[in-house]
Structure 1
Amino acid sequence: MPDIAPERVSTRAAFTDALPELAVRHGVLVVDTDTGSIKPTPGMDYLNVGIAENAAIGLAAGAERWGRRALVCTFAAFSVSRAYEFIKLDVAYPRRRICVVGTHGGASGGWLGPTHHATEDLALMNALPHMRVVVPADAHQAVSLLEQCLRYDGPTYLRLGRKDSPVFGGLPEPELGIPQEVRPGRDIALVATGPEILATALEVADRLAGEGYDAQVVNVHTVDPESADAVGRTLAGSCRWLVTLEEAWTSGGMGAQVAAAIGHRGIPWLPLGVNGFLPPGTHASLLEESGLTTEAVVGRVLKFVTASQ
Structure 2
Amino acid sequence: MLEIKPERVSTRAVFADALPELALRHNVLVVDTDTGSIKPTPGMDYLNVGIAENAAVGLAAGAEHFGQRALVCTFAAFSVSRAFEFIKLDVAYPRRRVCIVGTHAGASGGWLGPTHHATEDLALMNALPNMRVVVPADALQAVSLLEQCLQYDGPTYLRLGRKASPVFEGLPEPELGVPQQVRPGRDVALVATGPEILALALDVAQGLAGAGYSAQVINAHTVDPESAGAVGRAVDAQCRWLVTLEEAWTSGGMGAQVASAAGARGIRWLPIGVTGFLPPGSHASLLEASGLTPDSVLRQVLTFVSDPK
Tell me the TM-score normalised to structure 1 length. 0.99
Q: Secondary structure at the match of 1:236?
A: coil
CA offset digits 1:82-110 (Å, max 9, x no partner)? 10000000000000000000000000000
CA offset digits 1:114-152 (Å, max 9, x no partner)? 000000000000000000000000000000000000000
Query: In the alignment, residue 107 of structure 1 is paired with which amino acid?
Result: A
Query: In the alignment, residue 151 of structure 1 is paired with which amino acid?
Result: Q
Counterpart in 2 of 1:195?
A: 195
Query: In the alignment, residue 132 of structure 1 is paired with which amino acid?
Result: R
Return the alpha-carbon distance in structure 2 between the equivalents of residues 49 and 269 of structure 1.
Answer: 44
- List structure 1 runs of 4+ shifted beyond 2 angstroms: none
Counterpart in 1 of 2:154?
A: 154
Q: Counterparts in 2 of 1:227-238, with a 5 A limit?
A: 227-238=227-238
Counterpart in 2 of 1:284?
A: 284
Does the alignment pair 1:48 with 2:53? no
Contact 1:132 1:222 in 2 (8 A): yes
Return the alpha-carbon distance in structure 2 between the equivalents of residues 25 and 7 of structure 1.
Answer: 30
Q: Counterparts in 2 of 1:83-94, with a 5 A limit?
A: 83-94=83-94
Q: Counterparts in 2 of 1:100-115, with a 5 A limit?
A: 100-115=100-115
Q: CA shift at 1:2, angstroms?
A: 1.1
Counterpart in 1 of 2:73?
A: 73
CA RMSD after TM alignment = 0.5
Gaps of 5+ in 1: none
Query: In the alignment, residue 108 of structure 1 is paired with which amino acid?
Result: S
Query: In the alignment, residue 185 of structure 1 is paired with which amino acid?
Result: G
Gaps of 5+ in 2: none
Q: Secondary structure at the match of 1:262?
A: helix
CA offset digits 1:49-78 (Å, max 9, x no partner)? 000000000000000000000000000000
Return the alpha-carbon distance in structure 2 between the equivalents of residues 241 and 94 of structure 1.
Answer: 39
Return the alpha-carbon distance in structure 1 between the equivalents of residues 233 and 297 of structure 2.
Answer: 24
Q: Secondary structure at the match of 1:78?
A: helix
Q: CA shift at 1:26, angstroms?
A: 0.4
Q: CA shift at 1:308, angstroms?
A: 3.6
Counterpart in 2 of 1:29?
A: 29
Return the alpha-carbon distance in structure 2 between the equivalents of residues 153 and 128 of structure 1.
Answer: 16
CA offset digits 1:134-187 (Å, max 9, x no partner)? 000000000000000000000000000000000000000000000000000000
Counterpart in 1 of 2:244?
A: 244
Percent identity, aligned pairs only, is 82
Tell me the TM-score normalised to structure 2 length. 0.99
Q: Secondary structure at the match of 1:189?
A: strand
